Chains A and B, each alone.
Chain A
Amino acid sequence: MLIPHPLLGLRDAQEFTYYGDAALMDRPDPSAETAEADFCDYVFLRDNPAGVHRELWFHEQGDRSWLVVTRNTVTHEILSAELATDVKSRGAK
């Protein structure tokens, strides 16, 4: 698989370490009333879809940036890749 790195162009997926669902970027609020249950869901439960999946890849043997890659888990087709920091700052606005 080749991942279209937004800064470096097409890079071999072997340069990356896979982390998991991009939803892991949104940590629950530890001071919320429901924090215990929220964190249990956050740590252990996954949507695990067959089809389009947004997921975190770490460019460990590259520029060490975190990417949010949108990929089809049935065909392995990669649809897009963005810097995780861009996704995060867009969400914060």
Chain B
Amino acid sequence: MKFSGFKVFKEAVTGHKGWKPLWRNPEPKKSYDIIIVGGGGHGLATAYHLAATYGLKNIAVLEKSWLGSGNIGRNTTIIRSNYLLPGNQPFYEFSMKLWESQEQDLNFNSMVSQRSIINLCHTDAQRDAYRRRGNAMHLSGAGGTLLSQADLREMVPFLNFDNARFPIKGALMQKRAGTARHDGVAWGYARAADMRGVDLIQNCEVTGFRIEDGKMLGVETSCGYIGSEKVGVAVAGSSSRVMSMAGMRLPIESHVLQAFVSEGLKPTIPGVITFGAGHFYVSQSDKGGLVFGGDIDGYNSYAQRGNLPVVEDVVEGGMALMPMIGRARLLRSWGGIMDMSMDGSPIIDRTHIDGLYLNAGWCYGGFKATPASGYCFAHLLATDTPHETATAYRLDRFARGYVIDEKGVGAQPNLH
């Protein structure tokens, strides 16, 4: 089933009776050439690229719940490539380019909307830091514009420019950044992978690995043993739990990050606005709700829900930035479990076990990385070499001293 304007029109006049499920629901086979553990955004994107880009067959994705039931369905939908460090920025720009062609590639409306991102600054030092970051972005072709206060007053007049503690002096803008429909991204990759023969197996939890002489043989699951000499794990939030079954300890702590959405409002906020000093960022969904968030709660958690002090802190940040939202009511809040890594950057690498590969440590930046993460992980699984934009995401970089620490806070995961 291919989506097109014509198909939508035809279904509209024939009572919408011709739509079919987007993917099959197959029984697992006895063995596969490659198994991806985790049917979230990154796992599904990996399976899609293995099939579509690297032409591989006999692939399965094992998901313990339903597809897209983790962080791909629990984030604030922002896509951007405005990083600083050379190990990160080319990767995120590669991801941005994949976002730009995603809907055509997948034949699925993931509602990619390049409505820009604005990072506000309040001091000369911050402006200098953003100028440097903007230049780093230009080096990777991502673009970036430094905005003055006058520019901002025209674009986003509702901000509290004269806040006594954090007066707004300017901003770094990336015009190509924006938002995408998070669930749609998972569904689009799932459908595209399924169409290329990937078996998407839901409600099938991996309970152990069968490893002999340091070689991967297959996985024990709640639906029986499934053989595969190559297993890729993409289960951000639960990486430590899953990899502990292979006897590994990871440079990761799991933390809860909350996000919020207000009632639907008329169009107010043009793009994404981030207020780093107050730990608040916001965009407006196509339905009109303000989608916003702030800091992680800061303690190890697997609970998928946070506590009230952070709710208060985030909302205070919002009120400081744009007092006009004080009358809007909060509709929902939720929490997702983040793989907070020791340097704030992800891991896409082989492990010391032959045939076991790891994609983890996305902190709270995993959504924007989904396309490139899938592409690069598929590249690693298919060729056994890292993709050129992901060469820095090695698991041994901590031991070797090549950490990629954007924020410069060291091995303290709750500060990244």
Residues of A within 8 A of B (CB): 1, 12-14, 18, 20-21, 37, 40-41, 43-50, 53, 55, 71, 73-76
Contacts and interface: CB of A to CB of B under 8 A. Distances in A.
A11 B303 CA distance: 22
A40 B287 CA distance: 48
A44 B251 contact: yes
A74 B253 CA distance: 13
Contacts of A21: 300
A67 B237 CA distance: 26
B300 A55 contact: yes
Contacts of B251: 44-46
* Size bin of chain B's contact surface: 20 to 34
A50 B252 CA distance: 13
Query: Which A-B residue pairs are the 3 nearest by beta carbons?
Result: A48-B240, A44-B398, A44-B251
Dominant SS among interface residues on chain B: mixed
5 contacts: A20-B412, A21-B300, A44-B399, A48-B250, A73-B254
Contact of A50 (B302, B399, B411): B302
Given A18-B414, A40-B399, A50 B254 contact: yes
B303 A46 contact: no
Contacts of A71: 299
Contact of B300 (A1, A41, A53): A53
Contacts of B414: 18, 20
Contacts of A43: 342, 398, 411
B254 A48 contact: yes
B252 A46 contact: yes
A73 B298 contact: no
B122 to A, nearest CB: 25
B249 A45 contact: yes
A73 B303 contact: yes
